[in-house]
Amino acid sequence: MDLEKKIGLPGLAKTINEQFGAVPLGYIDEVGVTPNLRLRGLGKNLWTQAEEILAERGCQVIVARSRPDVKIFNWWIRTGFQIIQKYGGDDKRVVIARAISL
């Protein structure tokens, strides 16, 4: 899987296939809002628009890389994302995914 190579996590393809099946997926690497514009819903709007575009293109699963210590992380979990793999060592990032629900 190209995504597995891109983000450097061996076994990611197997994990995704076990949890979601071999379905088309979309990947979002980084989404951020500058500090002076945070807490206005802009990040959530970006995610909603990205999900709509992915759904229009036939994707059934959305996959992203994040850190659990960012403010929007709890929103992702509340909206159905689940941690599917963690980076090792001191890297605190995780890969999250959920079915596209549009």
Entry pTM: 0.85
* Domain boundaries defined on the chain: 2-99
For residue 9, give the nearest of 95, 71, 76 by alpha carbon.
95
* Neighbouring residues of 90: CB distance < 8 A, sequence distance ≥ 6: none
pLDDT tens for the chain, residues 1 to 102 = 588 888 888 888 899 999 999 999 999 887 778 889 988 989 889 888 999 999 999 999 999 988 888 877 888 899 899 999 998 878 888 999 999 987
Give the separation between CA 66 and CA 54, rounded to whole angstroms. Answer: 18
Fold of 2-99: Aminopeptidase (3.40.630)
What pLDDT is attached to residue 1? 54
Please give the pLDDT value at position 38: 85
